[in-house]
Amino acid sequence: MALRIVTADERLSRAANKTTIALFGPTGVGKTTQLKRLAPSETVCIDLEAGMKSVQDWPGDSIPVRCFEDMVVLASLVGGANPAAAPEAFFSQQHYTHFAGLHPELIALLASKSIVFLDSITDLTRQAMAWAKKQPEAFSEKTGKPDVRGAYGLMAREVIGLLKHLQHAPGKTTIMVGILEKHTDEFGKVTWQPQMEGGKAGRELPGIVDQVISMSLFTREEDGTLRHDPERGTERRFVCRAGNRFGLPAKDRSGRLDETEPADLAALLRKINAPAAPVA
């Protein structure tokens, strides 16, 4: 592919039209129902966990996915061809052209959407692990027996490759939802971590996406301060900044978000993508 210069106007226009968010929260906090905050005409939900019951009255389009192979095809159709991929690899021009020809209805649907809501990244890694265990790399060359380390390594590489491909999807805001789970060590110290198969994909995810957001429940004290209270809290909030006082995973590449924001994805996207203030 020929090299070309991207002007400041082009770059700013693209930045205003897309972002990539990883949204994590404890089970039952209301992550999937954030779909109702997004415009149905602009949003497609990729449903990996048969979890649409809580949003069954949402009038938008959804695509159920039950295996990793189908998710790879869908990611290719969302992101287009990767000119750097080898011809036989996922997301190559040949891969994209083949499946685009098989699924013209998906191409038309995805072209009409600017937001891809992936629910959930936790189930994506589970499906990827089930797929990886069946591949040649998941078996020892010497004994033919299953090689768990090989399977985990393959799973991590393919999931990271898929997420990076979605991150580069032109003109598409991608929101990846996942479970946030509580870990307590032997000294009673509590940490919160994304629930994903293996460790490599979870460690690399913050470097792939623009925003890491934790959604949880809080209690507001009499003086107005927030206390993280995931079991009895009544106020849902997004935690958006790294190094926050609650110890929750977060990252704000836009630099426009407060430590916490109201739990409203549409409002969050408007704040992230608001036009930059003119330089004096």
Tell me, which fold does domain 18-49+57-273 have in CATH?
Rossmann fold (3.40.50)
pLDDT computed for residue 280 by the predictor: 53
Spatial distance between the Cα atoms of 169 and 236, rounded to a whole number of angstroms: 30
Angle at 276 between CA 271 and CA 280, to 5 degrees: 140
pLDDT computed for residue 27 by the predictor: 92
Query: What share of the chain has pLDDT > 90, as a percent?
Result: 71
pLDDT computed for residue 144 by the predictor: 87
Residue with tokens 């994909």: 201
Residues of the chain with pLDDT under 50: 1
Task: Enter the pTM of the model.
Answer: 0.90
pLDDT computed for residue 142 by the predictor: 85
Pairing type for strands 173-184 and 115-119 reads parallel
pLDDT computed for residue 274 by the predictor: 82
Instruction: Return the domain boundaries, the chain.
Output: 18-49+57-273
pLDDT computed for residue 278 by the predictor: 57
Which residues are 116's β-sheet partners?
44, 174
pLDDT computed for residue 249 by the predictor: 95
